[in-house]
Amino acid sequence: MRRWWLWLAFGALAVLGGFYPARVWAANPPTFPLVQVALWPEYDRPEMLVMYIVHLPEDTALPTEVALRIPARVEAPSAVAVRTAEGRLINAEHRIEADPTSPDWRVVVVTATELTLQVEYYDPGLEMQGAERHFVYEWPGDWQVQNLTVEVQHPRTGVAIQIDPEPTRVEERDDTLRYYLLEFGAVAPGERLQVEVTYQNPTGELSQSPMQGPPPAVEPTESPSAGRPQPLVTFWPWALAAVGVLLLVAAGWMYWQGARPPRRPAAPPRGRAPRRKPTAEAAGEVRYCPQCGTRARPGDRFCRICGTPLR
């Protein structure tokens, strides 16, 4: 019976270790096979739309937490989603924390339930002076990336665009806009990278009507809806963690019960003689001979006169 607490403890550790989200953090930089960054200036708002598409390794244990740093001047991401194997985007559970290493950054911690996640936010750091536009993108540098690409969208009414470093290639897409691609390749943790974008927008028009809203970044797929309910799988880790805690409590209780010494039956008190039934003499009973009627003395078995046995 005492071994049950061991099995309970092992079960609790399996639940907590196997299903609780493993945090991906700068202290142990993960390695991502591909990270795509998109910079779309003045797309549907007079700001810089920044989008991350992060591809996790195929052997990643899901769910897992991925931490992405964003500039502190950004209030909150406009979209946080995971992409299924079929290409659907589903809102992802996330939270925002302060960056303990620098007040210039904030941290978005995303619970990834799929191998691809997407984070979008509007950066008010796009400088505007008359028709002049200027923006500097800084790579957060928290991860080991095997292939990092950054794309810059040419604003619909923008002219004289300059990008530093120089793009490796240019693409024309179905939206009739031009895209400049910068392929950085492998990037080590802590490596500092910047992309500087300068152009002019004499009319100040946006590339897309604000009523239509931004389409999904980089790849055509379904856009996440802010009102879509969270997928049930995102709540499983917390339920399983609660089960694991209960198992640990039960294991501790059973261990404590097994460690207590067993109760022994109470021994009879020493020094007391067992009670005996009082004899007739002790009770003060007076006996007479049944034959002659002579009174017997204490301890007599036969009548002292006629010899008749006494009762």
Please write the tens of the pLDDT for every residue from 55-104: 999 999 999 999 999 999 999 999 999 999 999 999 999 999 999 999 99
**Whole-number pLDDT of residue 233:** 34
Position 276 confidence tier, pLDDT thresholds 50, 70, 90: low
pLDDT at 219 over 90: no
Of residues 288 and 43, the one with the higher pLDDT is 43
pLDDT at 18 over 50: no
Whole-model pTM: value is 0.62
Poorest-pLDDT segment among 157-171, 205-219, 240-254, 259-273: 259-273
Contact 207, 40 (CB under 8 A): yes
pLDDT at 117 over 60: yes
Poorest-pLDDT segment among 21-35, 183-197, 253-267, 273-287: 273-287
Of residues 7 and 44, the one with the higher pLDDT is 44
Residue-wise pLDDT tens digits, 1-16: 445 555 555 555 554 4
**Whole-number pLDDT of residue 300:** 77
pLDDT at 216 over 60: no
Q: How far apart are CA 158 and CA 277, in angstroms?
A: 120
pLDDT at 46 over 60: yes
**Whole-number pLDDT of residue 128:** 97
Residue-wise pLDDT tens digits, 135-187: 999 999 889 999 999 999 999 999 999 999 999 999 999 999 999 999 999 99
**Whole-number pLDDT of residue 311:** 72
Q: Domains in the chain, please, with CATH? A: 33-230 (2.60.40)
pLDDT at 218 over 50: no
- Sheet of 105-112: strand order equals 22-24, 64-71, 105-112, 94-98
**Quick one: what percent of the chain has pLDDT higher than 70?**
67
Mean pLDDT score across all residues of the chain: 79
